[in-house]
Structure formats: structure tokens, C-alpha cells
Amino acid sequence: MKPTVLLTNAIHPDGLSYLEQHADVIIPSNENPALLPELVRNIDGLIVRTQLPEDIFDFANRLRAVVRHGVGLDMIPVRQATLKGIPVANVPGANTAAVVEYCLSAILGRYRPLEKIDSLFRQRGWDAGKQVGTACGELNGATLGVVGVGAIGKNLGQLAAALGMTVLGLTRRPDSLPASIQAADKPALFSRADVVVLCCPLNNETRGLVDAAALAMMKKDAMLINVARGPVVDKHALINALNNNELGGAVLDVYDQQPLPGDDPLLTCPRLILTPHIAGTTIPSLRRMSMAAVHELLSLLNHRTSQFLVNPEVFNT
């Protein structure tokens, strides 16, 4: 018999088509996490694209594999899965290019705001657009601070260095940094960087990492970009810094609460660009993530092997 696999959310059609050749697939008609406990009772595999309840695995009678459609494991209670003997895997690298390009787009948009120049040119004439255009800075000679130098941070840092930026990296493993990225501690990175990009995992060390004290270290015209997780940044401290002109600007793709409520104070902040958690989602990256997640899940279900197993101890018991 084919295994039964639950998708918390839809995946790329190519991934779905391949999975349906090897499994009976359940796709909820209502993507509501509150419905998941009932849905997981009689499934063999789970592909995750939403936050799972902390007690989700208490309801699973025969679950044998869980795979994150992406990288961040904060959506999955991995410890609870391990206690239940359930292997968990993710698919690192599948959306690296998409996130790096998002960050570069945000940085370039700050230094050369072409849409703003175009708007002023059309509405107020040649001289208005030219005034903004001739006041732009350059990446060449600016300093980029990367918090979390994994695959995304490393690739972003190397590209930024190739564009002439000085790149600082905050990481637990400074010996792993490429030559183009200089190791820096938190005070040095936040005080020296013209742009700070957060691409670290969410854990006890990074939760609230960017608080009022960290923001106060930053240059008054610096920019903060968060493609990590919302709780890495103290939202209220960021709002205060932007409202009080203590920070040049920010770009957020992730939030404490998702979807972002329509009355959230972030929506009225000045010099703030908001996107709905799409940094890692492009047509090519969605296909890569879906295909990789399906292959990992089938490998776990059929062979109890995984290229990216995050709790290998489940196979040692």
C-alpha cells in the first residue's frame, strides 16, 4: 500500500505530481493549523509549510517522517518529534538564491531608488528626479553586516564583496568565514555597518537580538533588513527608532505574527518596506523546495535515510 502523506499547504505542481505517484496525498481545503491535530492521526508522512502546534505529534498514530518545505525548523517542534521517534528533515539551499537576490534588491533599492526617481520625474519634472538621482550613494565602499553566515549569509556576503562592499559577519564559527567576509562581534558589526542583514535561525540566542540597545549602536542613516524570523527583532524598539528618526530605514519580510494584522503599527511606520514573507519564494525556488521535500520524505518513508536529517538520534534507539 502507498503511504499517506499530508501537506500542510499546497506545494509546486511538479512536486505534487511526483509525490502522487508514490503516495496518497491529503491537501487540506482549509489551511488552518487548528485543524492539523485531527488530520495527522492516520498519516505516514508530513510536509510542513506552516507553524505546527507544539503538541501536534501527540495526535499522530503512525507518523514516520516529517520534512520542512524550506530551511527554518522553528515551525516544527523537533524535540517533541525526537521524543516520539519521528525523523525530521529540511531542505537547506533550495531557496538560497531567492533570498540572496531579495536582499540585494533591497540594498540596491536603497542606494539607487529608481522607482522614487521615476515617480518624481513624472510628477514634478526632470529637475526633481535628477535631484534625488544625483544624491545617491554607492555600494562600492559601503559596509554590509551579515548576522548569521550560513548558506544565505555567505552567498550574500561574497556577492556584496564583489560589488566593492566591506563585509562583516557575526557567526558562532568565525573560522568558517570565506576570505571576503571579516569576523566581527555584535557591537562592531552594528556600529560599523551601513546595511545590516539578518539571516540567522531563530533560537534562544537570536530571539530579541536586535533590541533597542542594538538599534542605538547603528548609524542614523543605516538600513536593517530582516529575512530571518520576526522575533529576532524587537518590533517596538524598531518602531520607536523609525518614528524618532534614529534609523535610516528597514525592510521586513518576516514578523512576530503572520499574517501581519491589518492594524499593526508597522504598517504606518516611515522609511519601512514590508513584504509578506516572500524572500525565499520564486517560481524556481518553490519548485526546488517542493521537489527536494518530496524526495526527502520518500527517502525517509521507504529507506529510513535522509540527506538533511536534523535529529539523527531517532535512528540510534
Same domain, 52 and 172: no
Percent share of the chain, pLDDT over 70: 100
247 & 309 share domain: no
Helices (H), 23-113: 36-39, 78-83, 96-111
Mean pLDDT of the chain: 96
Distance of CA 204 to the CA centre of its chain: 17
**CA 283/CA 253 separation, integer angstroms:** 18
| Pair 19, 111 in one domain | no
* pLDDT exceeds 70 at position 317: no
Residues near 236 by beta carbon (within 8 Å), at least 6 away in sequence:
none
- What digits encode the pLDDT tens for the residues 183-206? 999 999 999 999 999 999 999 999
- Give tens-digit pLDDT for 46-59: 999 999 999 999 99
**Interior angle at CA 82, CA 93 and CA 89, nearest 5:** 15
- Claim to verify: residue 307 and residue 219 sit in the same structural domain: no
Residues 64 and 197 in one domain: no
Supply the CATH number for residue 37's domain. 3.40.50.720
**Do 266 and 138 lie in a common domain?**
yes
- 49 and 118 both lie in a single domain: no
Residues 242 and 259 in one domain: yes
Do 135 and 235 lie in one domain? The reply is: yes
Domain match, 305 and 261 both:
no
**Could you give the number of structural domains in the chain?**
2
Q: Are residues 29 and 154 in the same domain?
A: no
Q: Are residues 167 and 258 in the same domain?
A: yes
Range of the domain at 76: 4-94+283-315
Closest by CA to 156, choosing from 201, 109, 105, is: 105
What number is the average pLDDT over the span 242-248?
98
